[in-house]
Amino acid sequence: EVQLVESGGVVVQPGGSLRLSCAVSGFTFDDYAMHWVRQAPGKGLEWVSLISWDGGSTYYADSVKGRFTISRDNSKNSLYLQMNSLRAEDTALYYCAKAEYDILTGPDYWGQGTLVTVSS
């Protein structure tokens, strides 16, 4: 069974930093690209970032480019999102999601999300 479990969401002050983690199981992690997607309270889904199977290629939404960094550790079956210079508008439920296969494919399996709140 495919499982993705996000962690690391907390309350952080504007301008602060945070690293989210996503532990996966039930599939061969290093065969697949991975996505991060977020949902602000009362809002729709927003694609955040994508990483290739080997971590060699990364992509970002304009809203987070230069502030967020996606990475992965295939030896630990884990995906990460380093979030710097956080803003109030980054407050959201952050989901990690497995890509159908490569960087040209969208999310198929998702976790249940971890909540990040940016507030003073």
* CA–CA distance, 92 with 11 (Å, rounded to integer): 11
Range in contact with another protein (rule: CB under 8 A) among 19-27, 66-74, 81-89, 111-119: 111-119
Q: What contacts 77, CB < 8 A, 6 or more positions away?
A: 23, 24, 25, 29
Cβ atoms 21, 78 nearer than 8 A: yes
The single residue among 20, 107, 116, 118 that binds another protein, judged by CB under 8 A, is 107
Among 13, 17, 28, 57, binds another protein (CB under 8 A): 57
Q: Take residue 10 and report the two structure tokens written for it.
A: 């907390």
Indicate whether 104 belongs to the interface with another protein (CB under 8 A). Answer: yes
- In the bound state with another protein, the residue whose beta carbon lies nearer, of 12 and 64, is 64
- Judged by DSSP in three states, 45 sits in strand
Binding stretches for another protein (CB under 8 A): 4, 35, 37, 44-47, 50, 57, 59, 61-63, 95, 97, 100, 103-113
